[in-house]
Each structure stands twice: as structure tokens, then as C-alpha cells.
Structure 1
Amino acid sequence: AGGNLIKSWFDEGLIPGGPNYNLMDSLFKDGLAAFIVNGIWATPSYRDTGIDYAILPFSEITFDDGTTPRPFVGVQGFMINSKSSSKLEATEFVVNYIGSFDGQYGMFLGERRGTARADVFSFIEADAGPELYDVLQFSKSASVGTPMPNVPEMASVWGAMADALGLVINGQDTVENAFNSAVEKIKTTIGN
């Protein structure tokens, strides 16, 4: 159903051919795209551009069968390189700063992403202005999401899906056949 809907948008000229992230982002910023599916990382640039936007969380979308979309949800983490000559300093930084109030609030200020610390969230809530709206709306989407698997096999998922969408959008295959073939490619790749 999603594939048919996306194809209809291309067929009706609602989405230009050859879409990619930069084109999508530019069209939205220039007022030439009615909506965009993106993440919280993009909202500071939209705000800076002066766009009066609203966020519709996936949690507020209901399909005809009563289900709700379940987006992949990712988290950011920090790793220490085992070959680093500064492992002790890196460990000190990660353990004693990244998880601290100052570290978490600093990351919020830098990228306007959510935080796992309740005290940082409360501080943001008291004084964040429009940034809090973004965090709350994206948190609602994350609440119905599925944790994105952190495995190399996910590359096969993205590749097969991109190939299937390309075939459908360019009229080289049916939605059903392209997506079924994508599933088989993914299963084969992961099975190997």
C-alpha cells in the first residue's frame, strides 16, 4: 500500500524524479514541498530558514486497519577506539562528561536532539521555546517506533528498498513484484 501511494505521488508529479535527501530538503526550505519526512536533526535549519512548520508524529497516524506506523528509532552512543593512545582520557570524557547534565545539555544545544536525562529535559522544558515542541513531537513518534537494528545486515535492507523504489518510480516493475523481490534479496543477503 505504501509503495502504491509513493508511486502515485510520482505519477501525479507531486514528487520530482531523481529524489534524494538534499533535493528533498531544499524543496521544503524553498516552500516547494508541502511536507517532508525527516528527523529532529533537520528542524534547526527549518527554523533558521523561517519556515512555520508543524510536526505530525507517527503516533498520531492511524491506517484504515487501525494500526499505527512504526518508524525505526535510533540512538547515539559513544565508543572508544581500542587502538587509541588516549583510552584513559577518552574513558574519562565519556564516563564523566557525556552522561552529565552539562554534557547532555550541550548535545541538546548543538543538535536539538532529545535527552535521556530527566533533569536535562525538565531544564529544557522550562526554557526551550520552540525546541521543546520539536523534542516532544519526535518523542511521540519514537514512542511507537522500533529500535533500529545495529547490525551490518541493515545495509542490505536499505539497498534492496532503494532498488525496489527506483524500479517502481521509473515504471520498470510493479510495486508488488519489486517489493517481493526486495524481501527475497534481503533474506538472501542476511542468510549469507
Structure 2
Amino acid sequence: MLVLAPIPSWDGSHTYQALTGTKGIAINGYSSNKDGAKAFLEFLATPEYANKWYDMTREISPNLSVNYAEGSVHKAIFDATNAGLPMPNIPQFGKVWGPMKTALGQIAQGQDVKGALEGAVDNIKMDIEEM
């Protein structure tokens, strides 16, 4: 039996806020049929289509009208995303992934959590300074 629960904050005083990202669709400024593209995007944003797309793909939708079963993985992901913070859209943020992957691997192998994370922070700062 799969049991899901929200990730608590470090001290339990507030909802954990993961970094999140979503897909987006836009109209190309060079489109020869902007009105048709706009109509299509408006159709995609309807509750009916959002629910149908979820039923077909099981992808989490940003549309608030999609109904996820309580206790499902999809509902947990949707709730976490709604509580989350947008992923920073800056080049420096790309320097976070490598050191964090290394730190998480070290932690998974039983190494000191604080030491691994402090090492990651040091590496991130150094990498950003070198940009």
C-alpha cells in the first residue's frame, strides 16, 4: 500500500515549498494564424480539455479544475506544486544541479548530511563566481 504525505518543513512551522516548474505553450510572434492559435490555446485551457488530457496522459495539469483522487500520487504532486516556489530562471541556477547531485549521492551512501550539503554550497558558490 502506497501512503503519501506532504513533505514537512525543517522545523514543522510551515508548508514545505519545493522548487517547481511547469510546461507552457505560447503563440509564436511570427505565426500567420494568431487568431487560430489563440482559439486553440483557449480550448486547451478549458476544464473539459484539461480533464480529458489528464485522463489520457496522467500528466499533472496546472488547471485547477482537474480532479485528482485523494491520496493519489497525482494529488500529492499537484498539492506540492501549488505550495511550491517557481524555479529561478537565471543562468546561475544551472550551477546548483551538479553539486547537489553529488551531495545527495554522498548522503545516500551514508556520509555526513551536513558536511555533504556544506560541500555542495561551497562548490555552488565557487562555480557561480567563475561564471
Cα separation, partners in 2 of 1:53 and 1:65, compared to 1, 3 Å: closer
Cα separation, partners in 2 of 1:105 and 1:155, compared to 1, 3 Å: same
| TM-score in terms of structure 1 length | 0.49
Contact 1:108/1:115 (8 A) holds in 2: no
- Superposed CA RMSD in Å reads 3.3
Is 1:74 matched up with 2:17? Answer: no
Q: What pairs up with 1:32-71 in 2 under 5 angstroms?
A: 52-58=1-7, 61=8, 63-64=10-11, 66-71=13-18
Correspondence for 1:104 among 43, 50, 61: 50
Structure 1 position 65, deviation (Å): 5.0
Structure 2 spans left out of the alignment, 5+ residues? none
Paired position in structure 1 for 2:60: 113
Cα separation, partners in 2 of 1:190 and 1:96, compared to 1, 3 Å: farther
Distance in structure 1 (CA, Å) of the matches to 2:17 and 2:94: 19
Distance in structure 2 (CA, Å) of the matches to 1:147 and 1:68: 15
| TM-score in terms of structure 2 length | 0.65
Cα separation, partners in 2 of 1:89 and 1:56, compared to 1, 3 Å: farther
Distance in structure 2 (CA, Å) of the matches to 1:77 and 1:71: 19
Structure 1 spans left out of the alignment, 5+ residues? 1-51, 126-130
Distance in structure 2 (CA, Å) of the matches to 1:180 and 1:91: 52
Length, aligned pairs only: 124
Cα separation, partners in 2 of 1:190 and 1:115, compared to 1, 3 Å: same
Paired position in structure 2 for 1:46: none
Paired position in structure 2 for 1:161: 100
Structure 1 position 77, deviation (Å): 0.6
Identity rate, percent: 23
Contact 2:9/2:16 (8 A) holds in 1: yes
Distance in structure 2 (CA, Å) of the matches to 1:53 and 1:170: 25
Contact 2:60/2:77 (8 A) holds in 1: no
Cα separation, partners in 2 of 1:181 and 1:67, compared to 1, 3 Å: same
User: Which amino acid in the other structure matches residue 32 of structure 2?
Assistant: L
Distance in structure 1 (CA, Å) of the matches to 2:108 and 2:78: 32
